[in-house]
Chain A
Amino acid sequence: MLGHVVPKSTYFLIFGSLLALTALTTGMAYVDLGQWNTIVALVIACSKATLVVLFFMHVRWSTHLMRVVLLSALLWLAILISLTTTDFFSRGWTPVPQSWESSEVVR
């Protein structure tokens, strides 16, 4: 036998949790939390993804090599998103030098 055989009950428990979290995230969308709506939705989505990766994708029982690949994927994703968003959202912080402005621009 190769790989860890997970009991059926574990799979059904994860399945139930995923459905419950889907119902929760759908319900929370109708509650006004202001900016927190996005954060709550993303936290629930990350929790669901973690359950799928750990149990359905067997990472809980996998070797360190597999985990290194997974973590490097997440690290590169973090670099991609953080560098791109910091660029976009910090553009307004410093004024554009006058000499860079086109004389055609009508203010």
Chain B
Amino acid sequence: MPDGHASTALAHQFEDLEQQHEAASLGMWVFLATEVMFFGGLFAGYAIYRNLHPAGFAAGSHLLNVTIGALNTAVLICSSLTMALAVRAAQLGRKKPLVTFLILTMLLGLAFIVIKLTLEWRHDYLEGFAPGLNFTFAGPNAKSVELFFVFYFLMTGVHAAHMVVGVGVLAMVLAMAWKGRFSPERYNTVETVGLYWHFIDIIWIFLFPLLYLIGGRY
């Protein structure tokens, strides 16, 4: 048994606070390893079909808006900064900046989703680029372009679903932070949601060049 003053910060199954903190982060890292496999399958499929249909994938890529893609990349990088600062505030036991940075992270995450929905997916749908719904692109390599848009909607859709989950979890963490449930001894929840949030950022860091940039914009 740890000595009396260790208080409620330490759950009884752990030897000490250090081990408790490690266990929480390790659990999230193992989950993220499975997520690497999940997105890895999509990226492998994308690499193969891009090589089998280079012209159609380049044409499809040219139909996307690079400016909005780059803007959303910047929004996500800002949200990663505010998330890192939220974890830092939790480490130092500063409640007010923790709450502020969590709210900022959520707002930036929501901004990403809103930009994606209203300026991109809606536009792509209205232009007739949605495979299975209204795909009406009639240029050269139309079938390959359609395949590109299957990958585009699937990969950005799955990524956005992760963002929605992230914003939801952040809302719960925000409620816990508001109630003062975190301390420099126990902020595992903030740390692990931070790891998850940065992971989603990394996925977008790869999606942006692969979907929007490569394939000859010049």
Binding site for B on A (CB under 8 A): 1-3, 5-6, 8, 11-12, 15, 18-19, 22-23, 25-26, 28-32, 37-38, 41-42, 44-45, 48-49, 52-53, 55-57, 62-63, 65-66, 69-70, 72-74, 76-77, 80-81, 84-85, 88-89
Contacts and interface: CB of A to CB of B under 8 A. Distances in A.
Q: Does more than half of chain B's interface fall in helix, strand or loop, or is it mixed?
A: helix
Contacts of A63: 22
Interface string B24-48: 0110011011001100110110011
Closest 7 A-B residue pairs measured CB to CB?
A73-B33, A41-B209, A29-B213, A73-B36, A15-B81, A69-B29, A29-B217
Nearest to B39: A77
Contacts of B209: 25, 29, 41-42, 44-45
B48 to A, nearest CB: 5
B147 to A, nearest CB: 15
Interface of B: 17-18, 21-22, 25-26, 29-30, 32-33, 36-37, 40-41, 43-44, 47-48, 51-52, 66, 70, 73-74, 77-78, 80-81, 83-85, 88, 91-92, 184-185, 187, 191, 194-195, 198-199, 201-202, 205-206, 208-210, 212-218
A82 to B, nearest CB: 9
Contacts of B40: 76-77, 80-81
Contacts of B51: 85, 88-89
Given A41-B214, A52-B198, A2 B91 contact: yes
A8 to B, nearest CB: 7
Nearest to B73: A22
A3 B191 contact: yes
Contact of A69 (B26, B52, B73, B91): B26
Given A37-B214, A65-B22, A2 B185 contact: yes
B32 A2 contact: no
B5 to A, nearest CB: 16
B28 to A, nearest CB: 10
A11 B88 contact: yes
A84 B48 contact: yes
A88 B47 CA distance: 10
